[in-house]
Amino acid sequence: MKFLAVLAAAMVAASAPAVVAAAPAKPAAETRIVLPTDVRPDRYDIRIVPNAEALTFTGHEAIAITVVKPTDRIVLNAADITFSKVALSGLAAAPKIVLDDQQQTAAFVFPQTLAPGRYTLSIDYAGKIYQQASGLFALDYQDADGTKHRALFTQFENSDARRFAPMWDEPGIKSVFSLTIETPDSQMAVSNMPAARTAPAADGREAITFADSPKMSSYLLFMALGDFERIHQRVGRTDVGVVVRRGDAAKAEFALDAAAKLLGYYNDWFGTPYPLPKLDLVAGPGQSQFFSAMENWGAIFYFDYAILIDPKLSTEADRQNVFVTVAHEMAHQWFGDLVTMSWWDDLWLNEGFASWMENKATDHFHPEWRVWLSAQSGQQGAMRLDSRPGTHAIVTSIPDVFAAATAFDSITYQKGEAVIRMFEDYVGEDAFRDGVRAYIKAHAYGNTVSADLWAALDAASPDKKVSDVARDFTTQAGVPLIRAEAARGGVRLVQSRFSADPSQRTPRTWRTPVKVEAVGDDGAWQGLVSASAPQVTPLRAPVVVNAGHAGYFRTAYSPGLWAKLAPRFAELAPSDQLGLLYDSRALGEAGVAPMSDFLDLAKNSPADADPIVLNTLAQQLDALDWLFEGRTTQPEFRAFAMARLRPMAERLGWDPKPGEADNDAILRRTVLSLLGRMGDPATLAEAKRRFDGWLADPESLSGSGRRTVLAIVAGHADAATWEAIHAKAKASTDITDRARLYNYLGQASDPALIRRALDLALSGELLPTEAPNVIAAVSNDHPEAAFDYAVAHRAQVDQLLEPTSRTTYYADLAVTSRDPAMLDKLAAFSATVPASSRGDIEKSTAAIRYRVGVIKARVPDMERWLKANGG
């Protein structure tokens, strides 16, 4: 699943001395709340009759089960399910049905003990069709002529298959699924497998039965039903298709081409061919607050914006994101679907690997995009979280499915991706690929834990075993800090811990793969550095530690080494330039190094640096600007920042140049948007001129230019401008563009307009999937207003959110706050949710507390630097 990370102002931590410390023991599996193991499902035959208009459905299922040991009851998962009949083969008496709504289980208690053996459990039931992406859900849209439609889809990860049919809804319990859908004959039905047969059904419907699935986990089952069309091409033995709303086929060509290329690449890379006869990418209108796509085996779901390319509306970044997202979900067809983690504490085996593979595959086909450079931004987000309270180990204890929702975060995804990249760099590409191939082959159609992957990699790389390093980085939380200082004969490297506050200063050790390169010659060194085994590299300064930036750690140079390295910044590779920018700001905010290290780099960065380096610099300046908000010195900081940004804007201009690189176009949008955000008069005037032209002629703006102008104007909107954008949103018949236009209404700075946007979100004018994102748009610059409003209207907002992710939504609304009073509000909110669901509240609390501390301790340092060096 491609989750949507919260884009908050960057946070960093403080360092501490290191000693050898063992990784914390993983809590025993017995602490998990899971289903009994005395009954095993082998096969489900499920028949669904949806009533889309009434938002209800009925179902019948026959489950082939094996009673493993004597028991008088069968316990499975069910949520929002009404039972009308339950029967077990060989027994005349119906069981007593005992529901546990808190644990989402149904127990069928029989009057006699069931002997071990095979049975068929038959269930007639009814369920609910949701209007957010949970279980079986509906998405509404309209055609260009105003005709309204409703399409149905399913979303089951992490644990919502139980809302579709009573079942054993845990990843470690795999079964075969046969699905039949009764449909109106004018609609297309899609599932994991191709349709096997069609037969007449009651009331003029058709009953479409799909071929049996492979043995798979319940969360991978999928169905869709609507007025669709499909484009496709054959890749070897596989029919690859994209399923879209009728009329959108042309927008799907880019994704289909990407999928066809990627399938051949993955078949070769994994060494195990994709095993299903077809692979569909299914597009759905709308959005979620938490994810953009889901890897259902053979029928990957994407929201429209994550897969469709509209020449008039899509940007260069959209094209890159579509390719990357397709690559991510297709990688899951092996890592996650064919081989699945045994329980949610190893979720990273799915998501960390797919996040790494999306970049590896994308870089193979589009090296000009330089995705490994862009990916460093995600790694930094993980490091910020990983150096504060609220973090967790990559392999983390998940006591129940409700806690599992909090594991879909930057530790699981981006830290997981970063350490996998580090492991591949450590053992070598060939050995790493050979180990993964052996792992996939050995565990196909089964479940694994992390140790299974380490064993396969060790066997493939006997001279550089990864298991010890991997355990250090996956079973304990935190960020290593490698200190570099001059020593006799070279540079001494010592490992300690990077931390944000006293609660995170417990010393720990990591056996850390480190690469060091000398600047200006070919000297290089590679080895393991740990708290108990510092190293001296035989290289002369200046040197770059973490050369290539493939390691998951921060680097602190001694003042002497930094004085030799920083002036050579322009000579460094872009990856190393990024490393210095990220680390110098993080170390400065943490008090490990002076903030002047970052500010000096920012002031002297070359204007002709790689576009991703310049984009990163711009974003870092924007994050610091947020810390100056409301201070009398913000104009001085903005003058400094705009002096860095204006030369970029002058070189790039407002309009694309023939043959320019995509990354230049992406940089243009960032730079102009930030100049507008900071109030640059020339930028505001030009954006307003272009906006007025767009109102008169909608064809005058498209793609990135349209998105840039609207963002700038919306941020500075008066009532008339706000209402003009509102009118455009109401009139739009493109579901993706409509949502973006409504989101712009939440970006205004005028408090009265912010209140209007919040009230609009719950007015009923917006679709159920649109409303939460408008409130979230407000939270970007006005977290207190958004959080207070959502909590005050909690009953109404909850109905618009996916049930397992509600707590995360409220925590995310608060995360960018600079107000200490928000800490008390989050504490009060935390008391209203189950303990196992509080992880994201703790993360937001830590981010706010840290930000408040940085404003108090570090912003004055920057103010003094600006007084001496600004401009």
CB atoms within 10 A of CB 764: 9
Give the angle subtended at the CA of 412 by the CAs of 344 and 833, to the nearest 5°: 65
- DSSP-based three-state secondary structure for 313: coil
CA distance 301 to 295: 7
CB atoms within 10 A of CB 243: 25
Count Cβ atoms within 10 A of the Cβ of residue 739 and give its class: 0-12 exposed, 13-18 middle, 19 or more buried: buried
HSE-up of 76 (CA within 13 Å, CB side)? 25
State which H helix or E strand residue 536 sits in. Answer: strand 535-537
Handedness of CA 663, 664, 668, 674 (dihedral sign): positive
State which H helix or E strand residue 141 sits in. Answer: strand 135-142
- DSSP-based three-state secondary structure for 543: strand
DSSP 189: E
Give the β-pairing of 238-245 and 278-284. parallel
Task: For 154-183, give the secondary structure using H, E and C.
Answer: EECCCCCHHHCCCECCCCCCEEEEEEEEEE
Those residues with Cβ within 8 angstroms of residue 546's Cβ, 6 or more apart along the chain or in another chain: 482, 514, 515, 553, 555, 576, 579
| First-to-last C-alpha distance (Å) of the chain | 45
Q: What would the DSSP string read from start to end of 12-45?
A: --EEE-----PPPPPPPGGGS----SSEEEEEEE
CA distance 541 to 563: 10
Those residues with Cβ within 8 angstroms of residue 209's Cβ, 6 or more apart along the chain or in another chain: 178, 179, 180, 195, 196, 197, 198, 199
Active site (annotated) includes residue 329: yes
- Residue 239 tokens read as 């029919």
Packing angle, helices 681-696 and 703-715, rounded to 10: 110
What's the Cα-to-Cα distance from 475 to each of 262, 375, 467, 662, 666, rounded to whole Å?
A: 32, 23, 11, 39, 37
CB atoms within 10 A of CB 773: 20
Those residues with Cβ within 8 angstroms of residue 367's Cβ, 6 or more apart along the chain or in another chain: none
- Residue 750 tokens read as 């005028």
CB atoms within 10 A of CB 608: 10
CB atoms within 10 A of CB 97: 13
Across the chain, how many H-helices and E-strands are there? 27, 31
- Residue 610 tokens read as 């790689």
CA distance 141 to 509: 54
| Selected catalytic residue, list 157, 170, 329, 351 | 329
Q: Active-site residues: which are they?
A: 329
